[in-house]
Structure 1
Amino acid sequence: MSEDIYDEYPSLTLAKEAGEQHIEPLKLGHRIKDIRAKLGITLEEASQRTGLARSTLSKIENEQISPTFQAMQKLANGLQIDMPQLFEPPKKMTASGRRDITRNDQGKPHPTQTYEHELLATQLSNKRMMPFKSRIRARSFEEYSDWVRHDGEEFLLILEGEVMFYSEFYEPVVLEQGDSVYYDANMGHMLVSLSAEDAQILWVTAK
């Protein structure tokens, strides 16, 4: 396939075989954002994994630019998926009742430099919320290269320990066990543990 086609069309249209009804156009940027959200990683983490600039990834996800074939290869390699997964049409939700139980310490581990995430309810696709538990490894603001930002809104509850919650437009605030905060995730934010042991939190991200 010619590489130029990806520059000409921001969203590639997928169709069933000849003679069958066409399905909805696939917005590739939205698909990439959905994959990243399911992996529970930020734009900054996706940038580190793929080698693509954070600003470039943001523009791709928001359909402002279309990825080149080389960029798609980097995305597939960095996100550890097969390239055809980028072109899978969105699945329509038809179930009227869904359930996913995650036993204690049986979530999907996803460690990063500053957090140790445990992704919950990983069997469900097309979730409106993404719940996960995290241990906060960071002990200082300087351990972050930049603010953490991503689409949606976020809720966090302190399960164990004590943290300092930094946010871009507010003064830092200390949160202890049982405290919670709800905030716009597009606003820069980050956490550091203040307790001797890594603090543990419950995070819920909503689209």
Structure 2
Amino acid sequence: MPEEIHDEYPSIALAKQVEGDTIEPLKLGARIKEIRVKLGLTLEEASQRTGLARSTLSKIENEQISPTYQAMQKLAAGLHIDMPQLFEPPKKNLATGRRDLTLKGQGKPHPTPTYEHELLATQISHKKMMPFKSTIRARSFEEYGDWVRHDGEEFLLILSGEVLFFSEFYEPLAMSEGDSIYYDANMGHMLISTSEQDAQILWVTAT
């Protein structure tokens, strides 16, 4: 199989002429991530579409490696875009006026064996953050078959009750109402309720 990436070179950097005859560098990794996020794809889903390894895509997006022309062809084909779109500069953040009100108790239910989630702001697609409230049903570490892990970073706030927060690189943390924590969601993590009533949690996942 032909080599798809070149570890010895920094990510491809382009330059774009802008007002005032100044040159603005364009990082290909940032552009690829912008396209993936806009399409609402996780790294795993983009990997399946393009045929590139998830780890390879992550390194490209983080400017750790530079893709070959063959890899860029796979990206364009898998993401259903034209090759030139990969070289357009990331768009500046502009106010879009988006908003989504979720009234109390009107979130989208999403139960699991250990959590009972209520998804919030479900009318907006392709969000950079995913907010949801959860009731923690699990009462022991053994109720989980494995660590919970996924792309992105996560913030959680204890709304009521008490929990024990487990993570694979740290000692368990006892947390109670008003406590919060921010962490890398790729790190294995899980929660159990330790109070008499199941704990209520506000979660925000950022991709």
Give the paired residue count. Answer: 140
* CA drift at 1:140: 0.2
Of Structure 1 and Structure 2, the greater strand share is in 2
Q: Aligned partners of 2:117 and 2:192: how far apart in 1?
A: 14
Aligned identity (percent) is 65
The structure whose Rg is larger is 2
* CA drift at 1:34: 3.4
- Matched residue, 1:155: 155
Q: Aligned partners of 1:170 and 1:137: how far apart in 2?
A: 22
SS at match of 2:200: strand
Does residue 171 in structure 1 map to residue 185 in structure 2?
Answer: no
Q: Check conservation: 2:50, 2:79, Cα contact below 8 A.
A: no
SS at match of 1:60: helix
- Matched residue, 1:34: 40
Q: What is the TM-score with the length of structure 2 in the denominator?
A: 0.59
- Matched residue, 1:111: 111
* CA drift at 1:196: 1.1
Q: Aligned partners of 1:88 and 1:122: how far apart in 2?
A: 24
Q: Which runs of 4+ in 1 moved over 2 A?
A: 56-66, 87-90, 92-95
Does residue 120 in structure 1 map to residue 126 in structure 2?
Answer: no
Q: Aligned partners of 2:183 and 2:152: how far apart in 1?
A: 9
Structure 2 counterpart of 1:64, from 52, 67, 80: 52
Q: Aligned partners of 1:62 and 1:187: how far apart in 2?
A: 25
SS at match of 2:40: helix
Q: What is the TM-score with the length of structure 1 in the denominator?
A: 0.59
CA RMSD of aligned residues (A): 3.3
2:190 aligned partner, one-letter code: M
2:155 aligned partner, one-letter code: F
Q: Aligned partners of 1:62 and 1:167: how far apart in 2?
A: 31
- Matched residue, 1:133: 133
